[in-house]
Amino acid sequence: MLGCNRGNKNKAQKWPYLTMLIGYGDDLMDLYSFPSQLDYEVTRSPSEETKAKLEELTVENRQLRSSFTDAQTNLAIVRSELATLRQQFDEKCDELEW
């Protein structure tokens, strides 16, 4: 009889630990399924609002790239003109020194 009572006492002491381990197991299962939930969110088809916003941003991006290219071209022209003016200025300075 003593052996049975001692066994029940050990089981009663282990019960909180078992409950805690089961809780951790549930938490691990939640974490394990989380990536598949993310996959669903990422792979579902975008809404019409999202598609419209994406199209709007794409058009804006094209316009900005075009403006940037124009600005780069204008800057190259201005630099070339500046180099020409510097060269002309240096030539005039040389002429005046002689």
* Total of domains in the chain: 2
Q: Could you give the CA distance from residue 80 to residue 50 in angstroms, rounded to a whole number? A: 45
Query: Same domain for 13 and 35?
Result: yes
Query: Phi then psi for 34, rounded to 5 degrees?
Result: -60, -45
**Length of the chain, in residues:** 98
Query: Same domain for 98 and 65?
Result: yes
Q: What is the CA radius of gyration of the chain?
A: 38
Query: Same domain for 54 and 95?
Result: yes
Q: Which domain holds residue 1?
A: 1-44
Each residue's pLDDT tens digit, 26-83:
666 666 666 665 555 556 667 888 889 999 999 999 999 999 999 999 999 999 999 9
pTM: 0.47
Query: Same domain for 29 and 57?
Result: no
Query: Same domain for 50 and 85?
Result: yes
